[in-house]
């Protein structure tokens, strides 16, 4: 759901874009912290917020960190 937005934000095109790990936190919606494999040894960490379904369930892209590796811990940023 967020691949196009991340490509626009980073200025890169990803052949592979597969979530391999995530954590979530329920607030006035749900925060997701996700590790995304982009092929080879390249990973992104994404922070995404999704509004509650009673508020439309819209996804809001919050932040991205590039240049991560598979073994990097998935921590909040």
Q: Give per-residue pLDDT as tens, 30-72.
A: 999 999 999 899 999 999 999 998 988 888 877 899 999 999 9
In the prediction, which pLDDT does 59 show?
A: 87
If one compares 14 and 73, the residue with the highest pLDDT of the two is 73
Cα–Cα dist 64/33, whole Å: 10
Cα–Cα dist 17/4, whole Å: 10
pTM given for the model: 0.82
**Average pLDDT of 9-28?**
91
Strand partners, 76: none
pLDDT band at 73 (very low <50, low <70, confident <90, very high): very high
């Amino acid at each position: 759901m967020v691949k196009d937005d991340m490509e626009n934000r980073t200025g890169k095109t990803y052949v592979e874009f597969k979530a391999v790990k995530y954590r979530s936190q329920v607030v006035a919606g749900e925060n997701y912290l996700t590790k995304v494999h982009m092929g080879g040894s390249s990973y992104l960490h994404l922070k995404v917020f999704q509004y509650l379904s009673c508020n439309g369930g819209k996804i809001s892209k919050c932040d991205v960190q590039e240049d991560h590796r598979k073994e990097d811990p998935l921590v909040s940023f």
